[in-house]
Structure 1
Amino acid sequence: QTRAEIEEKVGTPRQLSLRILADYSLKDDGKESGGILPKTNIKTAWLIILALLATPATLIIGVALLGVLVAAIGVAFAVAVTIIALAGAAIFITLTSLYVGIFLLFTKLGVGLFYLGIGIIGIGALMVILPIIYLIIVTVVKMVA
């Protein structure tokens, strides 16, 4: 028998497990009715086996989906931290280049101008990149919310 045929007869695994639990919660232990027939006993055992086989598959799928969700959140967090770290490093390098360039102007003019130029290029790059990063963050927050 295929899974579809079995589900057609006894319902989905969840429906089946709920039905079994309901039957056992209402049923006595069989002493008053003279016991359970062997055929009914085999059918009940088969239903229990089907319910047990269906449950681990559902749990495994749920755990796998939870793992994928946790991994996706972790990757998003790592990307955000990386972007913040790179922006901070760019700001630090720009400020350091400006500082070194100003003090080297008085000792070695060419080297001081080079470092000042690097610092000014860094300021220009930050003025272009930081608004783009801000727009990306605002867009992502709007998409999530």
Structure 2
Amino acid sequence: MKPAQFEYFAPQSLQDALNLMAQHGYDAKPLAGGQSLVPAMNFRLAQPGILVDLNHIPGLAYIRLGSDGDLHIGAMTRHSTVEQDLLVAQHAPLLHETMPHIAHRQIRNRGTIGGSLAHADPSAELPSVAVALHARFRL
């Protein structure tokens, strides 16, 4: 199948993305890695009228230690980046050990941490790991 017709936007700033999402409401869906949304669209299980691609927005993909000593991971950080990062291995070993078991390498190369957690599939590994690590999210 092919997805239903939709409009595509690729904002260059977070504010532009937020404005598009607010303007179009529930008809708009953010597109991160697309590993869950695109197949759902192909089967017409999801039929957003608007796709807001977050891939061109700078500053959403990062892994760093905060001044509080906590590990901070940006929403657009790819699974494969988290899998290979030394800070993750040192400060969140459970997350580091989980990453190779998420889907296939091709999926991990495109899938994002924020997209996986926002999708909230109850059978997915990341939501369970986030709970086990007492993860906090800034929205």
By the TM > 0.5 criterion, same fold? no
Q: TM-score, normalised by structure 2?
A: 0.21
Q: TM-score, normalised by structure 1?
A: 0.20
Which has more radius of gyration?
1
Higher relative contact order (CA 8 A, sep 6+): 2
Q: Which has the larger strand fraction? A: 2
